[in-house]
Every structure is written in C-alpha cells, then in structure tokens.
Amino acid sequence: MDLLLGRGLAMAAFLLADSFPSRLGAAEAATVDGITAIYNFGDSISDTGNLIRERPSGLLQYIAKLPYGMDIHGPTGRCSDGYLMIDFVAKDLGLPLLNPYLDRSADFTHGVNFAVAGATALSTAALTKKGITIALTNSSLDVQLKWFKDFMASTTNSSQEIREKLASSLVMLGEIGGNDYNYAFLHTWPTAGGHGLDNLARMAKSIALATELVPQVVQSVANAAKELLDMGAVRLVIPGNFPIGCVPSYLATANITDPLAFDADGCLAPLNAFAELHNAALRDAVAALRRAYPRAVIAYADYFAAYLRVLRGARALGFDAARARTACCGAGAYNFEAGRMCGAPGAGACADPGAFVSWDGVHMTQHAYGVMAEMLYRGGLTDPAPIKWP
C-alpha cells in the first residue's frame, strides 16, 4: 500500500474515533446521499448491544464488562475496545449510532440494529441436522428478518409506507455466515493440545465440513436479500467473509507450525482458500440478485481484501506490524485461548489497543474497524459504491 495513502487512512480512522464521544445523540450533520436510516443484520461484527440483552454465555459472556468498551467509557455490548464499522458508517452519514432492537426503550427514528453476536445465517434446526450445536444465541438471520418485519409492521400502516421508508434507507445484510463455519470448525478441532500432522488433518476435516455448508449459507443470505428487496430496499450491502487464516483465534486453535501451511502474509493458506470459496459463491449470488433487481444498488463489501490491506500496510496505518496477528486482549499463543478469552480470569488487555488489528482474537479493535470502514466505503472496496459522498 502506498505510504501516504496508509498514513491518510490511519489519520482518518483516529479522527473518526476521537470524534465519537461527543456525537452519541441525535444527528448533528445533514444526512448524506438522501440516506435517513440504516437497517443492519449480522453477528458480532456489527452487534451494538443485542446479545448482552439475551444474557450471553460461553465465549461471549464477558462482553458486558470491561475491558470491552474500554476506549468508549465502558461496555455497550460491542465486541471491541470501542466502536465498530457500522458506527463509523452511521457517523459518516450524519446519523446517530444504531440502537439494538432488543433495547425496547431506544429511539429507532434513524434505523435499527438487528445484529446479534454469535448469530448464524442458518437456523439452529438446520445446523443441528448437520450435527453442529449452538450455545451462544438462537437469533439467526431468519429471526432477525422476522424482527425487521415486526418492526416495520408496528411503525407503518401499509406496504407502500414501508417501501417509502426503505427508499431512503441503507440496508446492511451482514457480515453473517461466519459463525456457521466457526461452529463447524469448533465441532472438529481439538480444544487443546494436538501437534503436527494430526492438527493438519483436523483442519482439513473441519474445512470439509464447513464446505458442505457453503451453498446453504449463501442461499440463506440471498433469500433474506430477496425478501428485503421485495419489501422495497433499494440500497443493499452484502459483505463477504474475512481471511480467517489470518485471525488470531484460528491461528491459535489450529496450532500448526508447518511453514508450508502458511502463505506470504503469515496466514493459514487452507483457511483463506476456504474463505475465498465462500466469497466466490456469495459474489455469484449477488450477481444473480443484480440481474433480478436491476433498479436496486446491491453492493458486495470485500472484507477479505480490506483485512489483507490492513495487515500488509499495518505499519503505515498506525499499527504495530509485529503484533498484527496477535490479539490485544486474551492469553496464550497469539494471545487467544478459548478458555481464557478477553475478560475471563487470567486474561489481560494491552495498554495500547490502537496498535493492534485484533482486539480479542476474534474481533477487531476500534482503530482497525475505522480503517476498514474507510477502505470499504470511501476507498472502493465495496462495489458498486452504495453511497455517493459529497
């Protein structure tokens, strides 16, 4: 990445983050490109407080307390030290930050966040049939879509009024589907120990199981998109998966030391190949949606490319390049252990989250999310551009 571009993006991210504490109320600026509301669906990448209202357990039971939210004056249910990509997008559009749907007393004038940390694209029943059990939440994409329909039914008087409301809205459908694969991997990977060829074999078995899910996961996202478009959505963003072979939780859990398993970015090549497989199928689905709904803007957000740009330009973007694949908060190898995840006894947080790409081994830091949002929504990594910036 060009050094000046990297520095510019890093500065933009820091400025955005620094401006948030004074901008938590009503929108202070004119909205951009006629967008007056955002409706968001997804998982922990964009959940602003739904899971904590479901009383989380398991790996995410600690998100309701410090050090989560340490850079925004306390925990809010966001899986980070601070704000998320969806927050940066809302702020840039001149809108208030999205309130979680399960906060029944919240103001939803400018949109609603239906995302739930731990959520899946497939229903609990569909995953159970595959032998994959879920412990974090049952609020899968179909549940979130029902919430959306219930909300629209309770705040409008007709389908035409819903269409009018959606005509000036940005709809964010994901990231969703990553947890379907996470649970498939956890189903076959060892919880601890393992070595050498054993771990390579387990990873291959995990990838095979996850690959079976790809058509169903992508179809679930496409079906939800069709329902939203049929209801009147005209601006829809569908993100792809991250390069999961670069994420500390995967690197630590795989516990693989064979250098031939890693690519030039220091990431597990088989896992990244799987993520690209999912993304290729999702792109095909997006292309089909565009043909079926030619009047709508249906954008693909390339999270895979954005994350790799962050890693490759880490130093220029203000990160510590030597710790780009290590979590700020946690314990163990890559500073991630499922049994001592961020917030758990025995886990600790770094003093400088802004120097890290990863916050807790699964989710990114506020700084990283700010840079990602800049790359995706102003830097051309969402195609076609869903927002015309002034």
Can you give the CATH number for the domain in which 122 is found? 3.40.50.1110
Name the H helices within the chain.
3-19, 85-92, 124-129, 141-155, 159-167, 178-188, 196-231, 248-254, 269-292, 303-312, 366-377
Which residue of the set 44, 139, 220, 358 is catalytic?
A: 44
Q: Is 388 among the domain residues? A: no
Question: Nearest CA to 68 among 82, 58, 55?
Answer: 82
The whole-angstrom separation of Cα 98 and Cα 92 is 13
Q: Is 110 a catalytic residue?
A: no
Residue 97's Cβ-count burial label (10 Å; 0-12, 13-18, 19+) is buried
Q: Is 390 among the domain residues? A: no
Q: Is 389 among the domain residues? A: no
What DSSP string runs through 37-96? EEEEE-STTT-SSTGGGG---GGGTTTTSTTTTTTTTS--S-SSSS--HHHHHHHHTT-P
Q: Is 363 among the domain residues? A: yes
Residue 336: half-sphere exposure toward Cβ, Cα within 13 Å = 22
Which residue of the set 43, 87, 302, 360 is catalytic?
A: 360
pLDDT of residue 287: 98
Q: Is 59 among the domain residues? A: yes
Q: Is 168 a catalytic residue?
A: no
Count of structural domains, the chain:
1
Q: Is 318 among the domain residues? A: yes
Q: Is 368 among the domain residues? A: yes
**Structural element, H or E, at residue 169:** strand 169-173
DSSP label at residue 98: P
pLDDT of residue 339: 87
Distances, alpha carbon 298 to alpha carbons 147, 192, 310, in Å: 22, 42, 25
Give the structural domain span for 47: 3-26+33-383
Q: Is 367 a catalytic residue?
A: no
Mind listing the pLDDT tens digit of every residue in the chain (390 residues)?
443 344 344 444 444 444 443 333 344 446 899 999 999 999 999 999 999 999 887 778 999 999 999 999 999 999 999 999 999 999 999 999 999 999 999 999 999 999 999 999 999 999 999 888 877 899 999 999 999 999 999 999 999 999 999 999 999 999 999 999 999 988 776 544 454 557 888 899 999 999 999 999 999 999 999 999 999 999 999 999 999 999 999 999 999 999 999 999 999 999 999 999 999 999 999 999 999 999 999 999 999 999 999 999 999 999 999 999 999 999 999 999 988 999 999 999 999 999 999 999 999 999 999 999 999 999 999 999 999 999
Which residue of the set 110, 278, 363, 367 is catalytic?
A: 363
Assessment of whether the complete model's pTM goes beyond 0.85: yes
The whole-angstrom separation of Cα 256 and Cα 314 is 24
